[in-house]
Amino acid sequence: MKEIRLLFAAAEIFPFAKSGGLGDIAFALPKALRKKISTTAIMPLYGFIDRERYGIAPTGEHFTVTLDGSAHDIEFFHAQYDGMDIFFVYNDTLCDREYIYGPPGEGYGDNDLRFAIFGHSIAEAVERFDFNMLHLNDWHTALAAVIARDKGVKHPIVYTIHNLVYQGVFDARFMKRWGVGDTHFHIDDMEYYGYLNWMKGAIAHADIVTTVSPSYAIEIQLPEFGFGLDGFLRKHSDKLVGILNGIDYDIFDPMRDPSLDASFGPSSIRGKKRCKNAFLKEASLKEKEWPLISFIGRFSEQKGLDILIDSIGELLGNEINLAILGDGESRYIEALKEIEAENENFYLQIGYDESLSHRIYAASDFFLMPSIFEPCGLAQMIAMRYGAIPVVHAVGGLRDTVHPICRTRKICGEGFVFESMDSKSFLAAISEALKLYKKRSSLQKVRRFDMECDFSIEKCAKKYLDLYEGLR
Ligand code: ADP
């Protein structure tokens, strides 16, 4: 086969659109890959993306897809960003929205149609722009695998599961409006207990299925974490690989982060104290010497919000400051707001704020991730880079990236790990962290060690390159 020409597709790519880790990785991975192979990313041109700021220009290429009798016009745009080639797809149904998927904690009712349009655009782009390898991510792009195969595309397809919970399961009646054939309504294909499952279709049609950590690759083949697809994944286990995600150290670097009040690194840690003081002031948290513990993430059951909220009362009774930044389900927001009203040592910010998140990571001594399940998790890697020691549930990518502190055998990274998913175990792990806070030199050692750990995207990209080469 000729030189690889990769098209990398995702529903969100930082900085144009980001709702979580997918946005980070869908920027960082193609950016790292393009240093070795020809790589172009593709995403929807949502209405909220500033075309002028990013130099996004029309390519003059467009096409129409007719789905269930309705014609949808699709236009390709292009930009170069940070050395990377990106195609943007514009169609009014897909793009003219305030949010990527829907308001926090919700999804738009026509997301199947929106991402079917995106799927057709991806498959069209492969042929029109002569790509010979396709990398798809999560359910939003899963239908592209099915459509591409329907169109006779024979090139290798890699499909990555970033989170098995969101599979894209829809009523079988909707199939007509996606423009895929009835033959896919089959137990070895998209059919799923009488419904249609996009992720299942991509697993069936991709040459390789990856997921974002080695532990998660094992877990998703078990009923406990398989969300109904464990059997199908076991059946396809010969093409399933776990590759740990990484982070872009050009963006997440406390030595040169424009969001921070001071720079710092493993060998010059003093700036961290200044970042902490500045944030405490910004957040009106008074006790400067107390440890700052933080949580940044989606307010969802997955992220362990139930045990977090159950534990907060007792946690705030300690000499600590707690900062939470996030958005999501209203039941969690309401519960957190009530707690905020009664506690002076608690800072809560509802919403999505990239710059604030960096300031919190930099200011924090400890970072909480009590996820019920966690495919990879980037937040704990970012936290470690910024010298915040993680407290995590031993699951998925958290298990692969955070290990109990051990003086003799150092494994990247180190933190506080609890096995049993209940408040008692979670609080016990935090109380160990608070003990470490009192031993300043041990604290600094762990902090430095975590900051020096290599969770770079380059390591991850190398594994994907080997995989693409294998497919070639
Ligand atoms: P997810 O399951 O949401 O993808 P990850 O840990 O893999 O979780 O990635 C989350 C990413 O989103 C991190 O970069 C984190 O800092 C960021 N993030 C999450 N919530 C917020 C928020 N409310 N404001 C700013 N950044 C956020």
pLDDT digits (tens, 9 = 90+) for 240-271: 999 999 999 999 999 999 999 999 999 999 99
Does the pLDDT of residue 455 top 70, yes or no? yes
23 lines ligand 1 (CB under 6 A): no
Cβ 377 under 6 angstroms from ligand 1:
yes
Alpha helices in 96-162 (DSSP H): 111-128, 138-150
Mapped onto helix, strand or coil, the DSSP state of residue 448 is: helix
Residue 196: phi and psi, rounded to 5, are -120, 130
Q: What is the pLDDT of residue 411?
A: 86
Q: Is 327 in the pocket of ligand 1 (CB under 6 A)?
A: yes
Residue 388 has pLDDT above 90, yes or no: yes
Q: Average of pLDDT values for 305-312?
A: 98
Ligand 1 site, residue 105, Cβ cutoff 6 A: no
What's the distance, Cα to Cα, between the start and end of the chain in Å? 6
Count Cβ atoms below 10 Å from residue 430 Cβ, excluding itself. 23
Per residue in 46-62, pLDDT (tens digit) is: 999 999 999 999 999 99
pLDDT reading at 351 higher than 70: yes
| pLDDT surpassing 90 at residue 87 | yes
Q: Is the pLDDT of residue 408 over 90?
A: no
Asked if 340 contacts 346 with a C-beta cutoff of 8 angstroms, the reply is yes
Give the number of other CB atoms < 10 A from CB of residue 11.
Answer: 24
Q: Which atom of ligand 1 is nearest to the CA of 18?
A: 12
Q: Could you give the CA distance from residue 254 to residue 363 in angstroms, rounded to a whole number?
A: 11
Percentage, residues of the chain above pLDDT 70: 100
pLDDT band at 472 (very low <50, low <70, confident <90, very high): confident
The pLDDT score that the predictor gives to residue 64 is 98
329 lines ligand 1 (CB under 6 A): no
Q: pTM above 0.85?
A: yes
pLDDT at 1 over 80: no
∠ CA 322-328-334 to the nearest 5 degrees? 65
Report whether the peptide linkage leading into residue 103 is cis, meaning its omega lies within 30 degrees of zero.
no
Q: Which atom of ligand 1 is nearest to the CA of 247?
A: 14
Nearest atom in ligand 1 to the alpha carbon of residue 325 is 23
Which single residue is written with the structure tokens 């809560």? 348
Tokens describing residue 225: 């974490």
Show the DSSP H helices in 322-422 as ranges.
330-342, 354-363, 379-385, 396-401
Residues 33, 37, 40, 41, Cα dihedral to 10°: -20
Tell me the backbone φ, ψ of residue 447, rounded to 5 degrees: -60, -45
pLDDT exceeds cutoff 90 at 406: no
